[in-house]
Amino acid sequence: MGASFILELDTTGPVIEAFGPSYATNLYPETIIIEANETLADYQDIYFIDAAGTRHDVIFSYQTNKFVGVVYFSLFVPGIATMYARLMDEVNNLSNTAIYYVNVVSAIKLDITINDFQRMVRSEEVYRSISLSEEARGIVLSSQSREVQSRETTRIIEVSEFDHIPGR
């Protein structure tokens, strides 16, 4: 009887899927995970196209059957950014192209210094550094109250719309 053998070849690429937040701000990084149904090679082709059509290449961390990335959206134009990812399994079969959408929004960041007097603060959707002096000023933020941390104590600033600015 002659010798025989059966040779099975893996010619099927891995199936990958991306997970992460549905929106991100341009101030803080977000973690995105791409998982596969089998062991992956360390090959990766991952990039974003932002709302203006600009390509942003990213490098994720390889972890056997997934890649994990911490993405900073500070250089992205606000709007929908689309991530495209293509990976390989351990025998170099290409995966499907995983597509992931994230809404990049502009964040509001206020740096507030409070002196001895009560202050009201108003801000718009831009980054501002506000230092208030000793004269009374009124600036409106929204119709909510916000807690502001000062160097000495924590103060609550009641924020509301008003017609008259104190001290003027």
- Which pairing describes strands 30-36 and 55-57: parallel, antiparallel, or unpaired? unpaired
Instruction: Give dist(CA 81, CA 24) in Å, integer.
Output: 10
Q: What was the pLDDT predicted at 33?
A: 97
Domain with residues 16-105, CATH architecture: Sandwich (2.60)
Where exactly does CATH 2.60.40.10 map onto the chain? 16-105
Answering whether pTM is above 0.75, one says no
What number of H helices and E strands is found in the chain? 0, 13
> Residue 72 in contact with residue 57, Cβ under 8 Å?
no
Sequential pLDDT tens for the chain (168 residues):
678 888 888 889 999 999 999 999 988 999 999 999 999 999 999 999 999 999 999 999 999 899 999 999 999 999 999 999 999 999 999 999 999 999 999 887 666 666 555 555 554 454 445 555 544 444 444 444 444 444 444 445 555 444 444 544
Here the tokens at position 124 are 């718009």
Cα gap 147→35, rounded to integer Å: 40
